[in-house]
Structure 1
Amino acid sequence: MSRHPEVLWAQRSDKVYLTISLPDAKEVSIKCEPQGIFSFSAVGVQGKPFDFSLELYGKIVPEGCKSNVGLRNILCSIQKEQKGWWKRLLKSEEKPAPYIKVDWNKWCDEDDEESTNPDIASDDDVAYAGKDDGSSDDEGMLYLPDLEKARGN
């Protein structure tokens, strides 16, 4: 039986960001379909399968979907078909599943986005550029593997 990893989400007018918390994920499979279907599956620690599928609020551009598999999580950047702010992540008006939460660290309100300079790439875009230096995304907090790496062990 598969399980659901924790999924954090945030949006900009042109993108939706998903952070899937699944340390040491293997066999990661991500599928984006134009009508707004996002599917994820992976094998976690001890060979446990994880998967979920989301019907997003609006249509997306599959070619504009990028992902980056890190040590602790999988970062996904999903390009919206039309620029604009979605009322919610999912098409359904029901309360989202308990494993889906807002990513307040990446959240940006509509009026906040307009005040930023569009010519400068945001930190979020850089995080999804495809590089993983092995460090965490927890704003300076170091974990044991990071400390060992820093010490040269």
Structure 2
Amino acid sequence: MLQASLPQVLWSENIFTVRLSIKVVGVNPKSDPVQITENSVTFRALVDGKVYSVEYILYDSILPARSQVKISSGEVTIVLRKNQKGRWPRLIKLKAKPANLLYDFDRYEDSSSAEDEDCDEDGAGPTRKSKKIRLPTGISAEKKQEIMERHRLEQSCSTQSSDENEGIIRNDDRDPYDIFDVGH
């Protein structure tokens, strides 16, 4: 029997879906390598004589019939439709994270990006979608939270007066080489 290898798995989410990107080159699309149940996802594929396999018991339930699988040349993408709208604190039920499972910060979206938001309470302001941001790796959770809060502030209406924006740090006030914003 062949020894199974653990492929790298990147995951991200929004309030409606969870996305898994399994990094394996050369998976045969006809082999049906993904099985999805209400509480789990299993991937198993044989590529060039090597078996790749992962199985995750999910943090919360999903809708298998509304989930999708796409197999491309370099990865298998699985989009799982959540049973209930909301954020998950982690992908899997276990608190211990497998070494091959990483959060995909390139696909990070703050919670306001899932829907359009009005800038003013009376609806007179422009409606726009929040932009995705990329966070650097290797920074503390507190710094990530601070960056996300600053991002939310920057996404607020640009129609506010300069007095109202006094506490907001503008992009032109920042040192472009200070990626951790230490100078402020």
Matched residue SS, 1:83: coil
* 1: CA distance, partners of 2:52 / 2:63: 24
TM-score by length of 1: 0.70
Matched, 1:32 2:33: no
Matched residue SS, 2:78: strand
**CA deviation digits over 1:52-97, x for unaligned, max 9?**
1001110010101101100100111000101111111111112x11
* 2: CA distance, partners of 1:9 / 1:63: 20
Aligned twin of 2:67 = 65
Deviation of 1:105 (Å): 1.3
Among candidates 68, 73, 76, match of residue 74 of structure 1:
76
The 5 A counterparts of 1:60-139 are 60-94=62-96, 96-115=97-116
Aligned twin of 1:42 = 45
Deviation of 1:109 (Å): 2.0
* 1: CA distance, partners of 2:67 / 2:79: 6
Paired residues in the alignment total 115
* 1: CA distance, partners of 2:108 / 2:36: 22
Residue 116 and residue 98 in structure 1: after superposition, are their counterparts in 2 closer, same or farther (change >3 A)?
A: farther
TM-score by length of 2: 0.58
Runs of 5+ unmatched residues, structure 2: 119-128, 130-184
Give the aligned CA root-mean-square deviation in angstroms: 1.9
Runs of 5+ unmatched residues, structure 1: 121-153
Identical pairs, percent: 23
Aligned twin of 1:8 = 10
Q: 1 or 2 for the larger relative contact order (CA 8 Å, sep ≥6)?
A: 1
The structure with more strand, counted as a fraction of residues: 1
Aligned twin of 1:124 = none
